[in-house]
Structure 1
Amino acid sequence: MIKVVRGNPTPEELAAALAVVRARAAAASAVPSGAPTPRDAWSDPSRIAARPVPRPGPASWTRTYWPS
Structure 2
Amino acid sequence: MDEEPLVSVVRGVPTAEELAALVGALISTSIGTDPAKSRPSTDAWLRSARPSPGRGSWRESGLPR
Question: Shorter-chain TM-score: which interval?
Answer: 0.3 to 0.5
TM-score for both structures, normalised by structure 1? 0.39
Task: Output the TM-score relative to the length of structure 2.
Answer: 0.41
Structure showing greater Rg:
2
